[in-house]
Amino acid sequence: MALTSRKPRLTEPLVRDNGELRPATWDEAIGRIVEGFTSVKETLGGDGFAVFSCSKSTNEMNYAAQKFARTVLETNNIDSCNRT
């Protein structure tokens, strides 16, 4: 069965300026992510972040997620649906 009502995929990042989305370069989009993460980290420290991982991910992906959370984001706020 073919899906005919598919929406087109994004081919470039979008950023929000004054409430409106507009196309941006990858460098600009990643720069905004870095600015946002840095601002949260300076304001709230590691408590400003939480990571949720999925039991359908590989062990390696779950390990990478917790390693990123603990070393880069400096948070122990990591959970997953593995315990359900």
Could you tell me the pTM of the whole model? 0.70
First-residue to last-residue Cα distance in the chain: 34
Say if residues 75 and 47 touch (Cβ distance below 8 Å).
Answer: yes
Say if residues 78 and 57 touch (Cβ distance below 8 Å).
Answer: no
**What does each C-alpha distance from 74 to 19, 27, 53 come to in angstroms?**
31, 24, 16
Average pLDDT, the chain: 90
The predicted-structure confidence for 42-74, as pLDDT tens digits, reads as follows 999 999 999 998 888 888 999 999 999 999 999
